[in-house]
Chain A
Amino acid sequence: MSTEQARSARTEGEPLLSVENLRTSFYTDKEVIRAVDGISFDIFRGETVGIVGESGSGKSVTARSIMRLVEKPGRIENGRIMYDGEDLLDKSAKQMRSIRGGSIAMVFQDPLTSLNPVYTVGNQIKEALRLHRGLSGSAATKEAIELLEAVGIPDAHRRVREYPHQFSGGMRQRAVIAMALACDPELLICDEPTTALDVTIQAQILELLEELQEERDLGIMFITHDMGVIAEIADRVNVMYAGEIVESAPVVELFESPKHPYTQGLLNSIPGQGLDEDEQLATIEGDVPTPNEDPTYCRFAPRCPKAFTECDTIHPEPVEVGDGTGRHRASCLLYPDDLPTEEAVAVHREGGQRGGDTR
């Protein structure tokens, strides 16, 4: 059985994490910003789900919502986050603490700042070990060394008692990953773990994550704005725009036939696609809007080259756009493209009336 088949077999079963209709809003004096607005996706064991989007599209808030680490004035308003058959949003603070690190771990963007500079790297890994596995003293040190070795840090015996500043950027990110793995989580949330690293180190970290995934059957949620990284690591990709998932597809399919105009725009704006000398690289004009009201229109419409009148009045719902297996979905009034535009728009109009808040 090839890995591809193994993955599709896995995706048949129960998902490890299932986010349903999640909405997280930030209450500022001026407005309510729906940083994450009704997104749904699943992560299966041993699978890497990529979340890609521009700055401000709600990627990190999604990750924080799953960890229940959204800080004031943010609030998770709606939806369910099912993990292991239970809704994480119903957990008490104490239960949540044992899930954080124990079952779901997180790797942050900047390895320079996500380690406390006054404790040795070993000390910080041991902190996690003590918390979830009750290890202390030399047993914990031994385990910390093994973890550092597992993430490919040479001479781990010596490095375990070094301070973060004595590590290079890539080494530090490895150490952070070791810390996240300390308590054998089933799901690893990586919030732009390679953004702060240079390209060669990026490749190494991605390789490391893939190896660890093979070994430990980890589910990985990988957040990035870098399409190249996504192509490298993800099995499935969710494209986020202004707090919503606009397209969701297996990685190969997404790159081969992007359906949503936004995804198409993103892919077209990757440099180095064999442009002619006098041709300019395509860009998406404008910025991500601040999603501060009910979604009654397509949030991408103002920047969309294919927008038409209905785009301003009807909110697109995710519809099947692939080979019929339901794995490729896009939220755009142009789809389903086998129907004439009016009928397609009608599909979205009806779909929009069904959804309601569960919370």
Chain B
Amino acid sequence: MSTTTETEIPLRQRVAENPQPALIWAAVGAVLVGVELGAILQVVGAVAGVVVNLLPGDPGASAVQSLQAAFDAIPTLVSRDVIPNQGYWNGTSYQNTFLGLSPAVAWAIRVVFVYAYAFAVLAWAWNGYNRFRRHYRRVDWTPRDDVVNRFRNHSWGKFGLIIVITFVVMAVFAPALGPTTMERNILQPYDYEVSYWSEDTQSVETVLVGEANIGSGSQGAGDENVAPLTYDDFGRFHPFGTATNGKDLFTQVVFGARISLTIAVVAMGIAGLIGLGLAMITAYYKGLADLATVLVSDSIQALPVIMVLILMLVIFQNTWVRELYDGAVLIILIFSIVYWPFIWRSIRGPALQVSEEDWIDAAKSFGQTPTQVMRKHMAPYVFSYMLIYASLSLGGIIISVAGLSYLGLGITAPTPEWGRLIANGQQYVASPSWHISLLPGLLITLVVTGLNAFGDGIRDAIDPQADTGDEAAATGGGA
């Protein structure tokens, strides 16, 4: 291949010239997507449903509904239907479980499958990046390579990454991970029945889930306790035991992961966007814009975060905003407003620094527009700082949300939340039902530690010179 053609050919053509690595990668990708196609389409259907709902007159609502039904029918690899665990013992064997295995084993297999699939997808993506780097990238080195390499040598960061991935997979695959479903066990327990083997009558009997829950709560006493990794009286397996009201703790934990992650990521995303945008504007224009932002952000920062949160949540009690996603939307909004000054402040310095670089002047001198200068020549430098700060602050938000829920102010029932679970089991910490508080508490600790470790790793990878053990950020706004 001559150097002349090498420079000018676009990526598509470079792939066409050496299609094998790309094809193999695409084929593996197709398999990975194919086995989960149903789930992806279900998400699309759900989104379409929401969109239709928002449109005036609900155009094509029936079409969307039939589409959703069709999508639901597509079998997916990692789903409850393929590896069912909600069966019962009929005296001789397990019915309706995966390969006739016990519910516990069937559930464990499904969890392993979910994580295996998730890590396979990640490995595939990583492999794709490596293939691109080896076979198709125009240049043999970019600054990003160094960042990636530094992160790969950062064990603490990698530990964090694994925790974070585990947590994210937990949130994403929550419906498939729980031994039972939200709908069945938590939201509408009196609409479903459960079959079980009754020792008394030596036969299979059925009971409403709600009634079964009442009979299997963990309330401290020896016979009123369903410990982790045990079955309750109705033959249902509880990996984390049950809560005080008999609902499955693990199901609540995985869905709690969902809401914690959603709040933390969305709030940090919004705060980050506001912070980054303002940092660009203040660094580019300086002067009055800067002064005004300093004033506003100082005012916001002067308020104690947890006080503002409690105050706002109380003020908005019983309003429609409070109802959205059981309070999550309101919490996200409050966090975005409270957190952007922290982000803006931490990146203002780097933004000002980069705005003084000669290449900014050079870009101006060939007539580049202010927005493009900010976006192309300033934002990339500041973005990594923001990423570091945001990843270090995520843990703080998760702790804050849990703290609010613990106080009964954050996420309201029925959406499960880790902080509420802790509050729920607080009385029983010193009893056989210790698991209700302890397990969610341990998870919070682990996840926040993981996020901080991951943030440390990113920081060291992006900016090896920065050696500020920013502990304040780690606990920022923590309850």
Contacts and interface: CB of A to CB of B under 8 A. Distances in A.
B362 A179 contact: yes
Contact of B359 (A101, A113, A182): A113
A113 B357 contact: yes
B7 A101 contact: no
A69 interface: yes
Interface in A103-153: 105-106, 108-110, 113-120, 127-128, 131-132, 137-138, 141-142, 145
Contacts of A131: 366-368
A69 B358 contact: no
Interface in A58-95: 67, 69, 72
A303 interface: no
Contact of A99 (B4, B367, B381): B367
B468 interface: no
B139 interface: yes
Contacts of A180: 365-366
B358 A157 contact: no
B3 interface: yes
Contact of B362 (A114, A118, A183): A114
A97 interface: yes
Contacts of A145: 7
B364 A100 contact: yes
Contact of A100 (B138, B141, B142, B365): B365
A10 interface: no
A331 B369 CA distance: 40
Interface in A147-186: 155, 157-158, 160-163, 176, 179-180, 182-183
Per DSSP, are chain B's interface residues mostly helix, strand or loop, or mixed? helix
A24 to B, nearest CB: 16
Interface residues of B, number: 29
B366 A100 contact: yes
A105 B287 contact: no
A98 interface: yes
Contact of A115 (B138, B287, B362): B362
A261 interface: no
Contacts, number: 94
A84 to B, nearest CB: 16
A176 B362 contact: yes
Nearest to A129: B366
A105 B368 CA distance: 12
Given A138-B8, A145-B7, A102 B362 contact: no
A127 B365 contact: no
Contacts of A160: 7
Nearest to B2: A157
Interface in B362-418: 362-369, 376-377, 380-381
B361 interface: yes
Given A117-B143, A161-B138, A179-B366, 14 more contacts: A97-B368, A102-B367, A108-B358, A108-B365, A114-B361, A118-B143, A118-B381, A127-B366, A127-B368, A131-B366, A131-B367, A132-B366, A160-B7, A179-B362
Contacts of A108: 358, 361-362, 365
A67 B357 CA distance: 17
A161 B139 contact: yes
A137 B13 CA distance: 14
B286 interface: yes
Given A118-B380, A141-B7, A157-B4, A101 B366 contact: yes
B286 A132 contact: no
Choose among A115, A157, A162, A183 the residue with the greatest number of B CB atoms under 10 Å from its CB.
A157
Contacts of B362: 106, 108, 114-115, 176, 179
Contact of A69 (B10, B359, B364, B377): B364
Interface of B: 3-4, 6-8, 10, 138-139, 141-143, 286-287, 357-359, 361-369, 376-377, 380-381
A182 B7 contact: no
A157 B365 contact: no
B361 A69 contact: yes
* 8 shortest interchain CB distances as A-B pairs: A101-B366, A101-B367, A100-B367, A113-B358, A106-B365, A116-B359, A114-B358, A97-B367
Given A118-B380, A138-B8, A157-B7, A128 B357 contact: no
A98 B369 CA distance: 10
Contacts of A114: 358-359, 361-362
Contacts of A113: 357-359
Contacts of A120: 139
B287 to A, nearest CB: 5
Contacts of B361: 69, 108, 114
A105 B364 CA distance: 10
Contacts of B287: 72
Contacts of B369: 97
Contacts of A106: 362, 365-366
Nearest to B356: A71
A171 B57 CA distance: 64
A132 B365 contact: no
Nearest to B7: A157
A105 B358 contact: no
Nearest to A106: B365
Interface string A194-215: 0000000000000000000000
A330 B8 CA distance: 55
19 contacts: A67-B365, A97-B368, A97-B369, A101-B365, A106-B362, A108-B365, A113-B357, A113-B359, A114-B361, A115-B362, A117-B143, A118-B143, A127-B363, A127-B368, A155-B3, A157-B6, A158-B6, A161-B138, A179-B366
Given A98-B367, A158-B7, A180-B366, A72 B359 contact: no
Nearest to A159: B7
Nearest to B5: A157
A66 to B, nearest CB: 11
A142 B9 CA distance: 11
Contacts of A127: 363, 366, 368, 376
A276 B3 CA distance: 57
Contact of B7 (A69, A105, A161, A176): A161
Nearest to B288: A72
Nearest to A111: B358
Contacts of B359: 113-116
Nearest to A105: B366
A132 B380 contact: no
B367 A132 contact: yes
